[in-house]
A and B are shown apart, each in its own frame.
Chain A
């Protein structure tokens, strides 16, 4: 279970982590400044397992990987949004940050709601208001990458073909 942190539409990677902090690729360092322009209280108050609830086209703009790395470094469990910008979508999966597309959940969840997410089934349960939402289940290969903690870690011990088997 985690607390929901809500964000607006077209959240671009500059707003997730401004360019001036991209001098490091250390997840914990980046996490200290994640969302600092749009929600400065996030970095200090986020708890492991909290959930990011974003608007449509989440992660648009520059292809910088620092953005999903910063969110992962903050120990958020996953991001739920109606849609993600394409390169952010890939980058998040490859660094092992699960992302779920679910417009119904985004429309209904308010900041601070207690949320349960089953990544394997895509079921999202809002403990605060008792509503249930269904995101598209994550493909097996995405779960494999997430379990390994990212594609780089996956490849240390597996062949890439094992992603699809």
Chain B
């Protein structure tokens, strides 16, 4: 009996648990990537004990892959040697770690997965516990198969109504970040539910747990339902049966209700994710780069929205428009269905899959005084390059409309034109 996180942790503990308790739990998978694995290897070597279970370790090269400089190359080399030395079976370099974790079926309802990456919260979209940790803990978990957790209090966000055309999950989540602030969910499990969530397809649901990190949450959860099971059965190699774990007579610290029907497209403005504004307030602001990518918004359906809006048109000649599919699988499907050709015809630069321009280390770097509008989840100062550049966050549709004009542009007029 309890909130979704109490139900998930309780199943693993083998008894009912309550917020505030500290538990030592078995973890299903331990994820890390090229930025965070080297320090985990150091912790592992310092402990000096063998790996507990190779099958639970999942390593990715995605943050700067293929290596853009010698330091990154040395890191990759060190990781590859470690994978060979330990005979680790789950090693990937085929896209952003979180997308690959979902696609490869590592994330199932009730799973407990830790990652040395703050956006490991993404896994909550499957009704799984996912949380980011430091590298040392990853090294510890390799050896022990376990991790300590404090059972968090839960904030329930109840999303009602139907979004207007041109308003996507990204707009709703940016609005939530603006309302709650960057520490509004600190230590908390944030449960997203309500009729809006119930009716959302998986690629849109993922936005909420992914960006729960931006409000400081320990995890962001959506209870598994038919949409979840359909995704797992048809789009991943995960093997069932899957349990649709639900909250049972939950006691929430706070319940926040939002009617999404009243929202217009939103933009998170420089320099904080919670600096959220209705797009109409920043419309017309000049943009030098549009970046469509990352674990937040570079799935097939996102690329499809962008391609539909750019089809037969040209992007602004002075705006760099970069598209980085979240994974190779997405890239292949987009290529097969003609999306990549449309994007290239429109003047976009399409790069290999991975984290790309998101952390300012792998192309698409901003000069001083430049401004980017992106589908990312973070806009901290200097994130994409010069500390004197600015990053604005929005939906793929807003990104596509902005790519056409070189100024922050409301996607609704273009979407209406397409509909006619």
A: residues with CB less than 8 A from B are 10, 25, 56-57, 60-61, 63, 65, 83, 85-87, 89-91, 94-95, 139, 141, 150-152, 155-156, 160-161, 163-164
Q: Is B133 an interface residue (CB 8 A)?
A: yes
Smallest CB separation, B148 vs chain A (Å): 7
Q: Is B24 an interface residue (CB 8 A)?
A: yes
Cross-chain pairs A/B with CB under 8 angstroms, 9 sampled: A63-B117, A63-B132, A63-B134, A86-B186, A89-B187, A152-B140, A155-B143, A160-B24, A164-B148
| Docked-complex contact A151 and B136, CB < 8 angstroms | yes
Q: A163 — which chain B residues lie within 8 A by C-beta?
A: 24, 148
Q: Is B46 an interface residue (CB 8 A)?
A: yes
Of the candidates A94, A95, A139, A141, the one having the most CB atoms from chain B within 10 angstroms of its own CB is A94
| Docked-complex contact B47 and A156, CB < 8 angstroms | yes
| Docked-complex contact B143 and A90, CB < 8 angstroms | no
Closest to A160 in B: B144
Q: B148 — which chain A residues lie within 8 A by C-beta?
A: 141, 163-164
Smallest CB separation, B112 vs chain A (Å): 15
In the complex the two chains form, what is the Cα distance from A61 to B213 in whole Å? 10
Q: B380 — which chain A residues lie within 8 A by C-beta?
A: 61
Q: A90 — which chain B residues lie within 8 A by C-beta?
A: 133-134, 137
Partner of A65 from the list B39, B48, B146 (CB cut-off 8 Å) is: B39
Between A and B, how many residue pairs show CB distances below 8 Å?
Answer: 80
In the complex the two chains form, what is the Cα distance from A10 to B121 in whole Å? 21
| Docked-complex contact B186 and A25, CB < 8 angstroms | no
Q: Is B49 an interface residue (CB 8 A)?
A: yes
Closest to A23 in B: B71
Partner of A155 from the list B117, B135, B144, B186 (CB cut-off 8 Å) is: B144
Q: Is B388 an interface residue (CB 8 A)?
A: no
Which residues in window 9-65 of B have CB below 8 A to A?
A: 22, 24, 36, 39, 42-43, 46-49
| Docked-complex contact B216 and A152, CB < 8 angstroms | no
Contact A25/B42 with A141-B148, A151-B136 known, Cβ cut-off 8 Å: yes
Smallest CB separation, B216 vs chain A (Å): 6
* Chain B 128-157 near chain A by CB (<8 Å), digits 1 or 0: 000011111101100110101000000000
Q: A60-B182, A86-B186 are in contact. List 15 more A-B contacts (CB 8 A).
A: A57-B186, A63-B118, A65-B136, A86-B218, A87-B118, A87-B132, A87-B133, A90-B137, A94-B137, A152-B47, A152-B139, A155-B49, A156-B46, A160-B24, A163-B24
Smallest CB separation, B64 vs chain A (Å): 15
Q: Is B74 an interface residue (CB 8 A)?
A: no
| Docked-complex contact A95 and B136, CB < 8 angstroms | yes
Q: How many residues of B contact A (CB 8 A)?
A: 32
Contact A164/B136 with A85-B186, A86-B216 known, Cβ cut-off 8 Å: no
| Docked-complex contact B39 and A151, CB < 8 angstroms | no
In the complex the two chains form, what is the Cα distance from A49 to B42 in whole Å? 28
Per DSSP, are chain B's interface residues mostly helix, strand or loop, or mixed? mixed
Smallest CB separation, A123 vs chain B (Å): 21
Partner of A85 from the list B46, B49, B140, B216 (CB cut-off 8 Å) is: B216
Closest to B48 in A: A156
Q: A61 — which chain B residues lie within 8 A by C-beta?
A: 380
| Docked-complex contact B183 and A57, CB < 8 angstroms | yes
Q: B134 — which chain A residues lie within 8 A by C-beta?
A: 63, 65, 87, 90-91, 94
Q: B24 — which chain A residues lie within 8 A by C-beta?
A: 160-161, 163-164
Of the candidates A10, A139, A151, the one having the most CB atoms from chain B within 10 angstroms of its own CB is A151
Q: A164 — which chain B residues lie within 8 A by C-beta?
A: 22, 24, 148
In the complex the two chains form, what is the Cα distance from A7 to B134 in whole Å? 23
Closest to A153 in B: B46
Q: A150 — which chain B residues lie within 8 A by C-beta?
A: 136
| Docked-complex contact B43 and A152, CB < 8 angstroms | yes
| Docked-complex contact B186 and A94, CB < 8 angstroms | no
| Docked-complex contact A151 and B183, CB < 8 angstroms | no
Contact A83/B186 with A25-B39, A94-B140, A160-B146 known, Cβ cut-off 8 Å: yes
In the complex the two chains form, what is the Cα distance from A57 to B134 in whole Å? 17
| Docked-complex contact A60 and B183, CB < 8 angstroms | yes
| Docked-complex contact A141 and B22, CB < 8 angstroms | yes
Q: A161 — which chain B residues lie within 8 A by C-beta?
A: 24
Smallest CB separation, B39 vs chain A (Å): 7
In the complex the two chains form, what is the Cα distance from A95 to B144 in whole Å? 17
| Docked-complex contact B46 and A152, CB < 8 angstroms | yes
Q: B218 — which chain A residues lie within 8 A by C-beta?
A: 86
Q: A85 — which chain B residues lie within 8 A by C-beta?
A: 183, 186, 216
| Docked-complex contact B140 and A155, CB < 8 angstroms | yes
Q: B135 — which chain A residues lie within 8 A by C-beta?
A: 65
In the complex the two chains form, what is the Cα distance from A13 to B245 in whole Å? 36
In the complex the two chains form, what is the Cα distance from A152 to B40 in whole Å? 11
In the complex the two chains form, what is the Cα distance from A71 to B46 in whole Å? 21
Smallest CB separation, A75 vs chain B (Å): 20
Closest to A139 in B: B22
In the complex the two chains form, what is the Cα distance from A65 to B137 in whole Å? 10
Q: A95 — which chain B residues lie within 8 A by C-beta?
A: 136
In the complex the two chains form, what is the Cα distance from A155 to B218 in whole Å? 25
